[in-house]
């Protein structure tokens, strides 16, 4: 790779990981410039159900806030509402198959994702709606949909990424963020 050429990074997969990486690369362009392209196999970001909710730990909140610009972080409350009383709770709870609580370690109180990120000791967790978080992370991201990667080929110059629709793209760095059965990992 030539020193004066701006490297191209292709991210295959526009889920939470791929979108977070995209934002981190764009946010830090002042340190190192990249051309960043992100591809998604689905026909639209909302094409497939993404799951119910996930827990975002204090360490995860710190990482997420470091990755995303403040304009995106300002919209995080859309994905992190107050828990539904008697149904959901912030924190970590381990249950058996019928819902009996087996373990519920104490957590430090916090009011929002910013306070959660400031907790440096112990482990605290916040309910985060996966689909809403993905919607927030999608803001301003030029995702190319209907682009399922089926293989890649490494060359001396870089990497060719081949898509199911017959198109191909060239990059210097390829990131496989398209799931456990990814051909790009």
The total number of structural domains that make up the chain = 2
* Statement to judge: residues 62 and 84 lie in one domain: yes
DSSP 102-125: EE-------SSHHHHHH--SS--E
Q: What are phi and psi of 104, to 5 degrees?
A: -140, 80
* Statement to judge: residues 126 and 64 lie in one domain: yes
* Statement to judge: residues 172 and 96 lie in one domain: no
* Statement to judge: residues 167 and 131 lie in one domain: no
Of the candidate ranges 4-13, 106-115, 142-151, 153-162, the one whose mean pLDDT is the lowest: 106-115
Angle at the Cα of 117 (from 113 to 121), degrees rounded to 5?
135
* Statement to judge: residues 181 and 154 lie in one domain: yes
pLDDT tens across 122-173, in order? 778 888 889 999 999 999 999 999 999 999 999 999 999 999 999 999 999 9
pLDDT tens across 25-43, in order? 999 888 888 899 999 999 8
Q: Which long-range contacts (CB under 8 A, 24 or more apart) does 67-70 make?
A: 67/20, 67/21, 67/23, 67/24, 67/27, 68/20, 68/23, 68/24, 68/27, 68/137, 69/23, 69/26, 69/27
* Statement to judge: residues 66 and 79 lie in one domain: yes
* Statement to judge: residues 43 and 57 lie in one domain: no
Please give the residue range of the domain that contains residue 155: 1-47+145-185
């Amino acid at each position: 790779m030539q020193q004066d050429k701006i490297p191209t990074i292709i991210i295959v997969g526009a889920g939470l990981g791929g979108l977070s990486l995209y934002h981190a690369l764009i946010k830090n362009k002042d340190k190192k410039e990249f051309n960043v392209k992100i591809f998604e196999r689905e026909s639209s970001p909302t094409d497939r159900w993404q799951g119910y909710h996930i827990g975002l730990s204090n360490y995860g909140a710190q990482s997420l806030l470091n990755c995303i610009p403040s304009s995106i972080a300002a919209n995080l409350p859309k994905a992190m509402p107050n828990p539904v009383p008697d149904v959901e709770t912030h924190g970590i709870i381990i249950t058996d198959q019928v819902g009996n609580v087996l373990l519920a370690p104490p957590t430090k109180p916090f009011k929002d994702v910013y306070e959660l990120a400031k907790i440096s000791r112990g482990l605290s967790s916040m309910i985060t709606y996966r689909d809403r978080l993905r919607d927030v992370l999608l803001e301003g991201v030029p995702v190319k949909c209907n682009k399922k990667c089926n293989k890649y080929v490494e060359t001396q110059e870089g990497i060719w990424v081949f898509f199911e629709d017959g198109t191909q793209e060239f990059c210097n760095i390829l990131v496989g963020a398209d799931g456990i059965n990814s051909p790009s990992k």
